[in-house]
Structure 1
Amino acid sequence: MSAAITGLLAGMALGFAAFFGGFWAFLLVAFLGLVGLVIGSMLQGDLVLSDFMRSRDRR
């Protein structure tokens, strides 16, 4: 699935959540979408959390 189709589906899901559920449903869907994106990127190997963590030891 292309990035444009994925973005279209995500936008439609957020739009439906905002229309039918209100602002808090919109925020919940956006947050869960972000969590899913991070987990999916980690499983696919595109995102490695250790790249964002640095040790406190700065030698």
Structure 2
Amino acid sequence: MIGMIAGMALGFAGYFGGFGAFLLVAALGAIGFVAGRFLEGDLEPGDFFRPRGDRQR
């Protein structure tokens, strides 16, 4: 359901605002998703900066 709403928002942004608005809405959605994951505790800042071989948790 949330994916459908996000897709509709991107579709409306692309249709009414053009490709630039589409990219802006997509980027802000991605930033909001990552921020939400941080607030829920599913991600830690170190998850983006660890080398690939370092999978210790």
The TM-score normalised by the length of structure 1 is 0.78
Whole-angstrom CA distance in 2 between matches of 1:38 and 1:18: 22
Which residue is equivalent to 1:48?
Answer: 44
What runs of 5+ residues in structure 2 fail to find an aligned partner? 51-57
What runs of 5+ residues in structure 1 fail to find an aligned partner? 55-59
Aligned length: 51
Equivalent of 2:33 in 5, 30, 37: 37
Moved more, 6-15 or 44-53: 44-53
Whole-angstrom CA distance in 2 between matches of 1:30 and 1:53: 23
RMSD of aligned Cα (Å) = 1.4
4+ runs deviating over 3 angstroms: none
Which residue is equivalent to 1:18?
Answer: 14
Q: Report % sequence identity.
A: 62
Whole-angstrom CA distance in 2 between matches of 1:10 and 1:16: 10
